[in-house]
Amino acid sequence: MPNQHKPLPPEDEIRVPLEEYFDLDLTDQQIADHLKSHYDTSQYGCSVHSVRKLLREWGLKKTRQQKHTPETITSMVLDIKKKFPQCGILAIRKNLRQEFKVRASENTVKTLLKELEPDAVEQRRGRRFHRKKFYAAGVNDCWAQDQHDKWGSRFGLWLHNSIDPFVGYNNCLRVWWTNKNPRLVTKFFLDACRVLGAIPMFTQSDRGNENNGVANAQTIMRQALDPSLAGTLQHMWKTEKNNVKSEANWSVTRADLSPGLEDLFEIGVQNGWYDVGVPLEQIRHKVLPHGIPVLLRAKPAFYQLSDFKIPVDADLLDQMEAQFAPPDHEVFQLTPPEFDHWANVYYDEMSRPLVTHDSFWDLEHRTSVFRHPSPAQR
């Protein structure tokens, strides 16, 4: 009697995506379902039982199998808290998976945090997110963008963000020495479109002049692809505080990401290692789908979602870039050209060490030799 089961797909077709889905903390059944898009289902099969077998063979252990205790994760959690001092249980579990390939139960992390910071645990229990209404029809229906200025005057760092509100996916989160130049903001938008190979149905922002380039480029491209839109604006202007999803995204960033980085930068400011005034030192309740943003965006059909992206060829994006974000404009120079050249020469001599949270200021001191040479070196 012939074998009624199909053979497993080749390892080189499914191993990488299987490990990616495993790292995203999907269940075995969800992994099996998602893997179907990576192999020919008419020839091969990979059931939930096959997924479990492959996980064992490839040494991918789950929470119970890793058997972690508060003691075994303490050093890793302290390292995470150094970078993200206000993060709670869910964020810590996510960072343990992503940074250390460690899976610890919610109770294990909760027990440890109650020992390390009992007051902070109680404070986080009382936090509430203020909800506002936002309507989006589907994936890529609208991209909302906004700028964040709270690091500008303190550290000379200005942030820009573009988010797909429907799935909560960040199209881009960029830091530069300005976020007020419309050419720069337009380039960030066009770069995100190139990655997707498409543009959204609409873009949205507040009424700042820095967003004019995006509004113009989006409208021109939509009209070029659909002449019936002639005379219409394909960008939605929002009044202050009404660009809801971008404002909410900054709120999350402020709570989770900012505190650790601000503490790190403040060390340099307080010790006189960094002066924002020195130009050479300026580095410049929802009714929405539930799921992981990167998967909701990549596989809208899998989740039975509508996708409103409009495919666009590279030539049209090139035209928009030449018109609204010319590459030779000085705003795209992160640092002056001569500084950039010698910084790379010196960094090569240092064997290009990895910049981490712990090595940040040490490397800054080592590179200060060429930025502030002694009289004998001049």
Q: Give the domain ranges of the chain.
A: 11-60, 65-125, 142-324, 336-377
Catalogue the E-assigned strands of 211-302.
Answer: 235-238
Give the dihedral of Cα atoms 319, 320, 326, 331; nearest 10 deg. Answer: -160
Residue among 61, 62, 91, 96 nearest 76 (CA)? 96
The Cβ of residue 156 has, within 10 Å, a number of other Cβ atoms equal to 20
Tell me the C-alpha distance between 232 and 323, whole Å.
20
Pair type for strands 202-206 and 310-311: unpaired
Residue 55 has pLDDT above 90, yes or no: yes
pLDDT recorded at residue 189: 97
At residue 92, does pLDDT exceed 90?
A: yes
Amino acid sitting at position 98: Q
Those residues with Cβ within 8 angstroms of residue 62's Cβ, 6 or more apart along the chain or in another chain: 55, 103
Residue 135 has pLDDT above 80, yes or no: no
> Above 80 in pLDDT, residue 288?
no
> Residue 268: which pLDDT band, with cuts at 50, 70 and 90?
confident
Residue of 68 and 148 predicted with greater confidence: 68
Cα torsion angle, 118, 95, 185, 305, sign? negative
Return the minimum-mean-pLDDT range out of 98-102, 149-153, 354-358: 149-153
pLDDT of amino acid 359: 86
Stated as kind and residue range, the H or E segment containing 164 is strand 158-164
Residue 245 in tokens: 């999803």
As a whole number, the mean pLDDT across the chain is 85
The confidence score (pLDDT) of residue 284 equals: 40
Q: What's domain 142-324's architecture?
A: 2-Layer Sandwich (3.30)
What is the per-residue pLDDT across 184-196, written as a single tens digit (0 to 9) for each?
999 999 999 999 9
Give me the pLDDT at residue 285, please: 46
The closest alpha carbon to 87, from 290, 266, 253, 294, belongs to 253
Residues 59-80 pLDDT 10s:
999 999 999 999 999 999 999 9
Distances (CA, A) of 296 to 21, 160, 180, 293: 13, 23, 31, 5
217 close to 199: Cβ distance less than 8 angstroms: no
CA nearest neighbour of 180 among 203, 135, 213? 213
- Secondary structure letter of residue 126 according to DSSP: T
